[in-house]
Amino acid sequence: KAGVTQTPRYLIKTRGQQVTLSCSPISGHRSVSWYQQTPGQGLQFLFEYFSETQRNKGNFPGRFSGRQFSNSRSEMNVSTLELGDSALYLCASSPGGQLEKLFFGSGTQLSVL
């Protein structure tokens, strides 16, 4: 079974631009969670989707948004990028309703210049 796939692996953007990151969960998994990881803040929860519905979201500004498609693939979008958005963005999938084990992708390393 293929693991969680995140694309692209690396991304360089400039301030003010927007970016879309993609996540393909493990086949059959219906939950997708997104995290931002920075050296100073650790892993911060962004949002979680299950069957195309956002069930929970973290404390991030509205510039951060996400969605999930009917095939469980998910995207997250960051608009009006700021230098502080530079981070490793991790996506994780889980089989069902309860988050009893997350399977993580390798992440997208975003650098904002």
Partner 1 sequence: SQQGEEDPQALSIQEGENATMNCSYKTSINNLQWYRQNSGRGLVHLILIRSNEREKHSGRLRVTLDTSKKSSSLLITASRAADTASYFCAPSNDYKLSFGAGTTVTVRA
Long-range contacts of 1-8 (CB under 8 A, 24+ apart): 1/26, 1/27, 2/26, 2/27, 3/103, 3/105, 4/91, 4/92, 4/93, 4/103, 4/104, 4/105, 5/105, 6/89, 6/90, 6/91, 6/105, 6/106, 6/107, 6/108, 7/108, 8/108
How many residues lie near partner 1 (CB under 8 A)?
Answer: 27
**Please, which of residues 58-97 interact with partner 1 by CB under 8 A?**
58, 88, 90, 92
- Shortest distance in whole angstroms from residue 113 CB to partner 1: 20
Q: Which residues bind partner 1 (CB under 8 A)?
A: 4, 31, 33, 35, 37, 41-43, 45, 48, 50, 55-56, 58, 88, 90, 92, 98-107
